[in-house]
Amino acid sequence: DGMRLAAAGAARQWFVLEPGAQEPLLRGHGHNDTVYRVAFNPAGNRLATVDFSGGLCIWDANDGRLLFHQQLPATTVWSLAYTPDGRELAVGTQDPRLIVLSIPQ
């Protein structure tokens, strides 16, 4: 939505932030390793996160609920991006591969 930012942290957490706010709007937990990449879907209501061990999660970006989890075959993810319609997630890996996943709506 252009009004919020997403960030990842070494404490297995992710955050949704509003620029200028003192505290995060959301603070999410649920990964087994350091969260490495984050991406909002085009509508801004879903947040994809991936950790160092390849755990991919999709969260509700409004309340932080876990909606989807999948263990990726690759452990080092360099990029994470939704397609413009938000139905698929492209995952770029170090080995190098591009994995395109259909995301449950």
Q: pLDDT 10s per residue in the chain (105 long)?
A: 678 999 998 889 999 999 889 999 999 988 888 998 999 999 999 999 999 889 999 999 999 999 999 999 866 888 999 999 999 999 999 888 899 999 887
Domains contained in the chain, number: 1
What is this structure's pTM?
A: 0.91
Residue range of the domain that includes 50: 5-102
CATH at 46:
2.120.10.30
Burial class (CB in 10 A: 0-12, 13-18, 19+), 35: buried
Residue 69 is given by DSSP the state: E
d(CA 16, CA 27): 7
